[in-house]
A and B are shown apart, each in its own frame.
Chain A
Amino acid sequence: MNRIIHSRQHGIILLAIVAIVLSLALAACGTHASASSGGSTPTNTVSAQQPQSGQPTQSGSDSSSIQSSDQQVQSILKSLNDTQNNINNSDAAASQDSGQQP
């Protein structure tokens, strides 16, 4: 009996969580839509965040450029790990050839 009560309580909690997530998602969609209808493009948003007068613009481009490098480097590191796995597999298969001596 207790289990049934517990499972109902869990069900109610789950429903509440789903309702909260749905309302958050709808709110986010609304914000996005109102931003779009205001006529501002993504390019405009970026330009609004650019440094004010007196601050060199080169700084911003260097910063975003090394951020992009950082992302590329992380992707290459993942490739290196994958290739390391290939090396391990090929090392493990090497014994298939070692049986025959000339």
Chain B
Amino acid sequence: MQKIYTGIQHLSRHLVALTTLSILALTLLLPATVQAATTQLQRCAPGDLQCIIAAGNQFIANRQASLTTLSGKVTTQLNNHHITGDQANVLHSDVTTNQHGLSTLKTKLDAETNVQAARQDVVNIFVQFRIYAVVLPRDYRRLYFDIEVNLDARLKSAEPRIQQAIKHAPPSKQAQLNKLFNDYQAQLAIAEAQFDHAQADFPKLTPSNYNYNRSSYLASLANLKASEQTAHNALVRAANDLHQMVQIIKASSTAASTATS
């Protein structure tokens, strides 16, 4: 029995060691894969046209796949009714435009017979589209912004019903509930003020500004991040206020029904 117990102890030590080694190996391998993709073009011989075309096609395929992932996430949010059809259309349309642009560039690249022209096509994958640098970070932020706007609208539309529920709550709870409701309204006002700032920043986040007006691009991005974060904090606080109000009202109605039965 003692031997079996010792055996199990040894086995679990081996398992821990094996798991640790696997995690280490994965951590080392993942960045290596990314590195391999980006250096593929550099490893092509100066006159190797097919190598340049293959590298460019790989860059395009990666970007097409990332855009498809974004499109799927937009659809999920639409299906969950967290964004409207119009908001989803804006994002889907941007994905489609970029995917069509990349497909056209791929057709051009595949038909190249000149090394220099092929290299320029590959450079254009980066410079013209900026899928990873501009499009995906901007569009995921737009999706986040759209969810925030809808959350705010939902919270705002609940105000009259909250007021009615407070009116019917026991007098001993009214002061506490009104305090929470005042904060709830104040937080929604803070969030809404940020939405106008964010709306103004989105149009400045373009590949062109990224390429030729980097400081303006970075300033707009920083402003957008700050606006979305402030709005997020305010919405979370309003949601917490709502949750607390619901708990108080629920507890009061449970106590009232227990007293009457």
Contacts and interface: CB of A to CB of B under 8 A. Distances in A.
Contacts of A86: 73, 140, 143
Contacts of B260: 52
Interface stretch (A21-29, A35-43, A89-97): A89-97
Contacts of B80: 75, 79
B144 A66 contact: no
Contacts of B100: none
* Chain B residues touching A, majority SS: helix
A69 B250 CA distance: 14
Interface string B202-236: 00000000011000000000000000000010011
Interface in A45-85: 49, 51-52, 55-56, 58-60, 62-63, 65-67, 69-70, 72-77, 79-80, 83-84
B82 A76 contact: yes
Interface residues of A, number: 41
Contacts of B211: 101-102
Contact of A84 (B38, B130, B144, B164): B144
B5 A3 contact: yes
A66 B154 contact: no
Contacts, number: 127
B105 interface: no
A33 interface: no
B249 A63 contact: yes
B123 A100 contact: yes
A97 B130 contact: yes
Given A56-B168, A58-B168, A60-B253, 13 more contacts: A63-B165, A66-B249, A67-B250, A70-B243, A73-B239, A77-B239, A79-B80, A83-B73, A83-B77, A87-B140, A93-B66, A101-B127, A102-B211
Interface of A: 3-4, 49, 51-52, 55-56, 58-60, 62-63, 65-67, 69-70, 72-77, 79-80, 83-84, 86-87, 90-91, 93-102
Interface of B: 1-2, 5, 34, 38, 66, 73, 77, 80, 82, 123, 126-127, 130-134, 136-137, 140-141, 143-144, 147-148, 150-151, 154-155, 158, 161-162, 164-165, 167-168, 211-212, 232, 235-236, 239, 242-243, 245-246, 249-250, 253, 256-257, 260
